[in-house]
Amino acid sequence: MNGQPARPEGEPIVVALPPTWIRNYLIVFGSVWFAFLCLFFVVVITSSAWGALPILVLLSASGAFILRRTSRLGLFAFSDSVVVRNFFVTRRIPKGAVDGFRIGGAGMPWSIGQTIVVLTAGDTALSVDALMWSGTGKRGAARLEAIADQLRRWREAP
């Protein structure tokens, strides 16, 4: 109707979210960030430094954008499609268009370790930003491999 792909129905079969420590860090960082901005706002108002208001607005908007997008990162495999929510793009890929999954480098410059990459028809690849912090060390590699195995079984299921 409106040009948007149909929303997948039902509960996701496979869910891959950022590690718990990243989600906890996000809560602490967001709290400190906005506490700092509130303090900055009070200083701006009490000192009548109105020229600093655009900076305050810019910091508030960028912080809200990053925190909102980071809190929504994930991979969700439904019966007919896989939805990948990254920092700057959300893509829904029909199950038939998924050629496979591999473990590889993340597409973000500040990523650490490995992540899962969705291989699609037409030789395109989409890295899963939600897992870019997971692929360090033996435990991280094992976690990525377990998620990749679940996704491979999901792809092979009728």
Residue-wise pLDDT tens digits, 4-40? 455 566 788 999 998 888 888 888 998 899 999 999 9
Task: Provide φ and ψ at 83, rounded to 5°.
Answer: -110, 125
Q: 0.85 cut: is pTM over it?
A: no
Token pair for 21: 């420590």
pLDDT tens, position by position, 32-65: 999 999 999 999 899 988 888 899 999 999 888 8
What one-character-per-residue DSSP string does 21-42 give? HHHHHHHHHHHHHHHHHHHHHH
Residue 67, Cβ neighbours under 10 Å: how many?
Answer: 16
Quick check: 154 and 96 in contact, CB under 8 A?
no
d(CA 23, CA 2): 33
Quick check: 13 and 154 in contact, CB under 8 A?
yes
